[in-house]
Chains A and B, each alone.
Chain A
């Protein structure tokens, strides 16, 4: 088996490397020769001290990532190269460094070789750094003494046709990583107290579910809704797919439970007008003038249905409506059943007004077609689509059921259909992919399946919360797969259609996810935050205030000190507010402020290593 072979080769190479070092071969310059058989080091030698730094003992772990890296980059050659770099006392390769045996290899090497720096060269730090950092901590090595080199996304995957140059680049990247690793310093993460309360923005089905869940976990919740009533978009629907229960029967009890909950305080109609602070200590001001403090925030502000202005005669021709308008019509009670209904899918989405698929419109159309058919079997219902997206167990059944009830599905392409009025009746013209010809369908009612779009207020809210919006102006989560309800900003979470189109069930799933994420810091009472913050050298700071005025987070203030240099002002960083961008350290006139973990010497060392020959 190729994998076993690679592992076997790995072990063999590892044995050879250790043998080489024992003989004193392969260490450049031979300065600080450290015998590998040295007795276990005292704990103090694991932590470099500022006055007398312990010698660097770097361990390098190079990942094959199966054949992802190993298939392009000559990993054994990179390991051999790394083992000759200054201060590298151990270098090995792993089939998968992130797998259990890889992580065990790191832990073992830390104790066996007395490593005080660990470098993993594998994939991207954006997904895997937390895993390796935890592994280092578990083995007693401060997580800030870990360095990550990206050999997959930034090397093997992008130079697949140039293995020799990819290997050369991999060596350079490892050398740059080793250069930075030497200068890494241990950091202690600040611990902050948490205000044990949460705020939920939005009283739709997502916001209600999140508020209820947090409150049921025992934490007070401030629920802020901009409309005078709860329920959001879901409450305006008719029946909910796939159970066909009345929307009010589904949403109503949740809204009532929220209203009656002793730990939920409703603020409505109200909006947030100001926010300051950070995880654990957000200070909120509402349009009503109320102010309160919360430890975490859930954003569930929902989305709007696209107004299809100028599309398919909507707003100009009578009896052209959106699915939402049809639902309101059906919810209002029996209306004159039209003889022929044509629904147009992807109306305004997938390249028309927005680029994305709104995900729920296929279910909605099928649901409403079934309702129309069941109440009035003689009504002809025709769904014109580009392709039907009904994923999952329940919805596929509904698609079948619609077909059995006689709903017709026709695929249009490549152009979207057009709607006109002919002799007092609507006519839908489209190219039928199945029949391979142009067709005209007369209709009494044309229903447009329009997408959900981001609310315009999201823009202002994102600035207030200091969280990003994506290209389609929906809120943008920290990681699409691994952190789906987190924002990159600590203590703020996202759920529901504010993040992008979803159906009600998924909204609730996300809401419960966001609620449990938001409750974690509240339950802990204290939170550790990243130690990547700025620090001031008060001996050299001249108190010019440039960093204070440039900091977007108001994390820096000038404070008076009276010391050996006299009575003067110096900059002080509030670590709770500092987000670690490092802007202050790049603009400081005399380098008195520096960003931890991204110091100028660390970055310069990488520049130097990148350009050094050999």
Chain B
């Protein structure tokens, strides 16, 4: 039985740095896009932890700052394309909030590339996989953020 087989094999991969990435996805587009990635069996790096919110407009700068403070190496925010927001203009608010957060990161001396905003629709499973892979790669190259509380 396949279900029984993989217990405990392999352990951690190479001793290289594995970034921790927190993602906030809106329920209607990007979370559904991530579902489609799965349904289509497209593969991406398992470094990401997705948190579902109803709308990208719900995401506060504080969520991003807290994630970095606790040791995240990158934060991905994903919402519906502009004009496609299930809640009319929540993603425009997200755009503003993330721009503000990026400015805050600059002031704090955090590399802005650790925060990424993407528009991913429910039909863009491939884009979700590509985004996660590209972002994971970029953050891996940036190295550990090192803001985590020890």
Residues of A within 8 A of B (CB): 2, 5-6, 9, 64, 67, 70-77, 124-126, 150, 152-155, 157-169, 172-173, 176, 463, 466, 468-471, 488, 532, 550, 552-553, 579-583, 585-587, 595, 598, 600, 603-604, 606-608, 610-612
Given contacts A77-B7, A470-B123, 19 further A-B contacts (CB under 8 A): A72-B6, A74-B7, A75-B3, A124-B38, A126-B27, A154-B35, A158-B38, A163-B10, A166-B46, A468-B84, A469-B84, A552-B88, A553-B87, A583-B87, A587-B93, A607-B66, A608-B66, A608-B70, A611-B70
Q: Which of A153, A468, A586, A611 contacts B38 (CB 8 A)?
A: A153
> How many B residues touch A, CB cutoff 8 Å?
59
Say yes or no: A471 contacts B7, CB within 8 Å: no
**B107 in the interface (beta carbon within 8 A):** no
Say yes or no: B41 contacts A160, CB within 8 Å: yes
Instruction: Name the CB-closest residue of A to B89.
Output: A552
Say yes or no: A67 contacts B93, CB within 8 Å: no
Show 22 A/B contacts (Cβ-Cβ < 8 Å), sorted by A: A2-B3, A6-B1, A6-B3, A6-B4, A71-B2, A72-B6, A152-B38, A153-B39, A161-B43, A166-B46, A167-B6, A167-B7, A468-B86, A552-B89, A553-B88, A581-B55, A582-B58, A583-B58, A586-B59, A586-B93, A604-B62, A610-B72
Instruction: Name the CB-closest residue of B to A488.
Output: B86
Instruction: Name the CB-closest residue of A to B64.
Output: A607
Q: Please indicate the chain B residues that have their CB under 8 angstroms from the CB of A468 in the complex.
A: 28, 84, 86
A595 to B27, CA, bound (A): 15
**B137 in the interface (beta carbon within 8 A):** no
Q: Please indicate the chain A residues that have their CB under 8 angstroms from the CB of B34 in the complex.
A: 153-154
Q: Which of A488, A582, A604 contacts B53 (CB 8 A)?
A: A582
A84 to B71, CA, bound (A): 23
Residues of B within 8 A of A (CB): 1-13, 20, 22, 27-28, 31-32, 34-35, 37-39, 41-44, 46, 49-55, 57-60, 62-63, 66-67, 70-72, 84, 86-90, 93, 97, 121, 123, 129, 148
Max chain B C-beta neighbours (<10 A), residue from A76, A158, A168, A604: A158
Q: Contacts A126-B32, A583-B93 known; A595 to B49 CB distance under 8 Å?
A: no
Q: Which of A71, A126, A168, A585 contacts B58 (CB 8 A)?
A: A585
A519 to chain B, nearest CB (A): 25
Q: Which of A169, A466, A580 contacts B88 (CB 8 A)?
A: A466
Say yes or no: A581 contacts B37, CB within 8 Å: no
Instruction: Name the CB-closest residue of A to B51.
Output: A606
A333 to chain B, nearest CB (A): 46
A77 to B8, CA, bound (A): 8
A340 to B30, CA, bound (A): 52
The 4 closest A-B pairs by CB, nearest first: A70-B3, A153-B38, A582-B58, A163-B6
Q: Which of A154, A158, A471, A488 contacts B123 (CB 8 A)?
A: A471
A579 to B53, CA, bound (A): 13
Q: Contacts A74-B8, A159-B43, A552-B87 known; A611 to B20 CB distance under 8 Å?
A: yes
Q: Please indicate the chain B residues that have their CB under 8 angstroms from the CB of A603 in the complex.
A: 51, 53, 63
Say yes or no: A124 contacts B53, CB within 8 Å: no
Instruction: Name the CB-closest residue of B to A610.
Output: B49
A301 to chain B, nearest CB (A): 19
Q: Please indicate the chain B residues that have their CB under 8 angstroms from the CB of A125 in the complex.
A: 52
A353 to B124, CA, bound (A): 21
Say yes or no: B97 contacts A164, CB within 8 Å: no
A198 to B22, CA, bound (A): 45
A155 to B28, CA, bound (A): 19
A154 to B43, CA, bound (A): 10
A552 to B85, CA, bound (A): 11
Q: Please indicate the chain B residues that have their CB under 8 angstroms from the CB of A124 in the complex.
A: 35, 38
B73 to chain A, nearest CB (A): 10
Q: Which of A76, A164, A553, A606 contacts B9 (CB 8 A)?
A: A164
Say yes or no: B46 contacts A610, CB within 8 Å: no
A470 to B121, CA, bound (A): 10
A599 to chain B, nearest CB (A): 10
A378 to chain B, nearest CB (A): 48
Say yes or no: A169 contacts B49, CB within 8 Å: yes
A189 to chain B, nearest CB (A): 16
A307 to B110, CA, bound (A): 54
Say yes or no: B121 contacts A471, CB within 8 Å: yes
Instruction: Name the CB-closest residue of B to A70.
Output: B3
Say yes or no: B70 contacts A5, CB within 8 Å: no
A581 to B88, CA, bound (A): 10
Say yes or no: B63 contacts A71, CB within 8 Å: no
A565 to chain B, nearest CB (A): 26
Instruction: Name the CB-closest residue of A to B3.
Output: A70
A585 to B55, CA, bound (A): 11
B43 to chain A, nearest CB (A): 6
Instruction: Name the CB-closest residue of B to A613.
Output: B71
Instruction: Name the CB-closest residue of B to A157.
Output: B38
A157 to B1, CA, bound (A): 18
Q: Please indicate the chain A residues that have their CB under 8 angstroms from the CB of B67 in the complex.
A: 607, 610-611
Say yes or no: B89 contacts A67, CB within 8 Å: no
Q: Please indicate the chain B residues that have their CB under 8 angstroms from the CB of A161 in the complex.
A: 43
Max chain A C-beta neighbours (<10 A), residue from B2, B3, B38, B88: B3
A488 to B32, CA, bound (A): 13
B55 to chain A, nearest CB (A): 4
B99 to chain A, nearest CB (A): 14
Q: Which of B6, B31, B37 contacts A158 (CB 8 A)?
A: B37
Say yes or no: B11 contacts A67, CB within 8 Å: no
Say yes or no: A604 contacts B66, CB within 8 Å: yes
Q: Contacts A74-B7, A471-B123 known; A583 to B55 CB distance under 8 Å?
A: yes
A198 to chain B, nearest CB (A): 23
Say yes or no: A164 contacts B31, CB within 8 Å: no
B13 to chain A, nearest CB (A): 7
A72 to B72, CA, bound (A): 26
Max chain A C-beta neighbours (<10 A), residue from B4, B42, B97, B129: B4
Say yes or no: A158 contacts B60, CB within 8 Å: no
A71 to chain B, nearest CB (A): 4
